[in-house]
């Protein structure tokens, strides 16, 4: 039986500690949303660098992340200091992350493509240096199976708060995009300082002694990929995230061309975020009543039914899309917390007393897979839609609309059905198995 990774205490975390753990996610989410929604258009159009060039920079940034995430995770796992394995990385990385946020969101007027490449590269690198060690603590800090779901939920709630805050700044404050980026930059930096201080002061030390010989990167990854439960978890997570990336990436176009209500895009996105937050307790309760695996399977089925419903929506079906947005948002929440909580069970199972840490490398591999899935809409759906003549700003024939709906709903349904059976027949970590049988 695996020994708890909490070396000194097995007490439950207080509500205040759960909040202090999650709050740092808010500025990270604000920067992440700005990176996706505002910054590409800002650099391409406002700063005159061009769509193709800016798009290539940010696609390369995602590929860069796929390489650096596992490396940073491995180095964090192998760090041994009196301050622990994770916090030194966070403390060292945070100032550089804040500087890169300021430079990326507040560029000089005569910005060049080289500037964007260097600054965005710094942003991606230092984001990883802060986030991977920080998030891996959520896998390690609690010996309690259900509390791991609460930790994942705390991060999910503050992530939603950060995303909504960043998205609403231009509308609430009536600012232009460049002005909004300045406000976002200042907010991210201030909240990073506050969040890091709260984390360092109030989160308990959860370090365990490591006496084993340090492993190289290749050996660590080989050890991790041998874990059967993790392979199933990673496969199902990749399939689900690919389905989510297709639906989320095409949602604005769906509201515009299928529902015919482009003016309601913001409202639908806000409803989706709100639904994600409100349904988080439901998935935690279901995981307590049954188990995490069953909770995730229920979410997959409900979302698949919602996507079937979306196939039959059409012009003016605003209420129907409201229902769909609620279902989609609710399932997104489960997709966020259950795989992370299940991963914490895997980490607990593999990290015995004295053995090497693997939590950050596990998490980094999962993060790398997640980032790869967001290339799916750009690499699959967008080229096909462009090939068949889908007009983003004009009228489309029934054939083009059907092809669009295929990528928005039908293909995600197929992917979710596959994922359901992968999850169904996957083994579970001993911690959850003991809970299920006990």
Tell me the domains of the chain and their CATH numbers: 10-206 (1.20.1250.20), 216-438 (1.20.1250.20)
Per-residue pLDDT of the chain (438 residues; tens, 9 = 90+): 333 334 444 568 899 999 999 999 999 999 988 887 788 878 887 888 886 788 788 878 878 888 899 999 988 888 877 777 789 999 999 999 999 999 999 999 888 999 999 999 999 999 999 999 999 988 888 878 888 889 989 999 999 999 889 888 887 888 888 888 999 999 999 999 999 999 999 988 766 666 667 778 888 888 888 888 999 999 999 999 999 988 987 888 888 888 988 888 878 888 998 999 999 999 999 998 989 999 999 999 999 999 999 999 999 999 999 999 999 999 999 998 999 999 988 888 777 655 777 888 898 998 888 878 876 666 677 778 878 887 766 677 888 888 889 999 999 999 999 999 999 999 876 555 544 544
End-to-end CA distance of the chain: 15
The dihedral built from the CA positions of residue 389, 393, 394 and 400, taken in this order, carries a sign that is positive
Q: Report the residue count for the chain.
A: 438
Residue 210 pairs with which residues in a beta bridge?
Answer: 354
Distances (CA, A) of 153 to 137, 173, 222, 269, 330: 14, 29, 30, 20, 13
Cα–Cα dist 276/264, whole Å: 18
Of residues 199, 52, 202, 218, the one with CA closest to residue 134: 199
Cα–Cα dist 345/240, whole Å: 20
Name the DSSP class of 352: -
Cα–Cα dist 5/209, whole Å: 9
Question: Which residues, 6+ apart, have CB-to-CB distance to 144 below 8 Å?
Answer: 10, 12
Is 299 in contact with 284 (CB distance < 8 Å)? no
How many CB atoms lie under 10 A from the CB of residue 339?
Answer: 22
> What are the counts of helices (DSSP H) followed by strands (DSSP E) for the chain?
20, 0
How many CB atoms lie under 10 A from the CB of residue 222?
Answer: 11
How many CB atoms lie under 10 A from the CB of residue 29?
Answer: 23
Of residues 110, 91, 317, the one with CA closest to residue 196: 91
Of residues 382, 378, 159, 167, the one with CA closest to residue 269: 167
Query: How many Cα atoms are found within 13 Å in the side-chain-facing hemisphere of 192?
Result: 29
On whether the pTM is more than 0.75, the answer is yes
On the 0-12 / 13-18 / 19+ scale of CB atoms within 10 A, 306 is: buried
């Amino acid at each position: 039986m695996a020994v708890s990774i909490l070396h000194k205490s097995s007490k439950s975390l207080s509500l205040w500690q759960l909040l202090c753990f999650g709050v740092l996610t808010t500025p990270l989410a604000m920067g992440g949303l700005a990176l996706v929604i505002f910054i590409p258009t800002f650099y391409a159009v406002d700063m005159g660098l061009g769509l193709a060039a800016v798009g290539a920079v940010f696609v390369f940034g995602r590929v860069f992340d796929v390489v650096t995430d596992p490396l940073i995770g491995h180095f964090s796992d192998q760090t041994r200091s009196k301050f622990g394995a994770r916090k030194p990385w966070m403390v060292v990385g945070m100032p550089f992350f804040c500087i890169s946020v300021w430079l990326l969101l507040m560029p000089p007027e005569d910005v060049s493509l080289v500037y964007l490449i260097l600054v965005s590269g710094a942003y991606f690198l230092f984001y990883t240096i802060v986030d991977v060690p920080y998030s891996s603590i959520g896998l390690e800090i609690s010996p309690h199976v259900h509390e791991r779901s609460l930790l994942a939920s705390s991060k999910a709630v503050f992530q939603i708060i950060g995303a909504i805050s960043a998205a609403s700044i231009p509308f609430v404050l009536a600012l232009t995009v460049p002005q909004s980026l300045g406000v976002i930059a200042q907010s991210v930096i201030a909240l990073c300082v506050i969040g890091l201080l709260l984390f360092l002061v109030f989160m308990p030390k959860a370090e365990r002694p490591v006496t084993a010989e340090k492993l190289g990167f290749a050996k660590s990854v080989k050890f991790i990929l041998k874990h059967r439960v993790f392979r199933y978890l990673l496969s199902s997570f990749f399939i689900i995230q690919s389905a989510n990336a297709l639906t989320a990436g095409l949602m604005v176009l769906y509201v515009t061309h299928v529902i015919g209500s482009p003016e309601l895009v913001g409202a639908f996105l806000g409803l989706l975020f709100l639904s994600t937050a409100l349904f988080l307790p439901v998935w935690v309760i279901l995981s307590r009543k049954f188990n995490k695996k069953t909770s995730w399977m229920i979410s997959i089925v409900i979302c698949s039914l919602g996507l079937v419903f979306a196939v039959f929506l059409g012009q003016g079906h605003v209420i129907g899309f409201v229902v769909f947005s609620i279902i989609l948002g609710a399932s997104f929440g489960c997709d966020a917390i259950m795989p992370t909580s299940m991963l914490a069970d895997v980490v607990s199972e593999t990290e015995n007393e004295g053995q090497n840490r693997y939590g950050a490398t596990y998490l980094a591999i999962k993060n790398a897979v997640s980032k790869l899935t967001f290339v799916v809409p750009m690499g699959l759906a967008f080229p096909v839609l462009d090939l068949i003549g889908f007009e983003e700003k004009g009228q489309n024939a029934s054939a083009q609309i059907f092809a669009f709906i295929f990528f928005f709903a039908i293909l995600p349904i197929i992917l979710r059905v596959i994922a359901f059976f992968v999850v169904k027949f996957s083994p579970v970590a001993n911690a959850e198995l003991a809970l299920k049988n006990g």
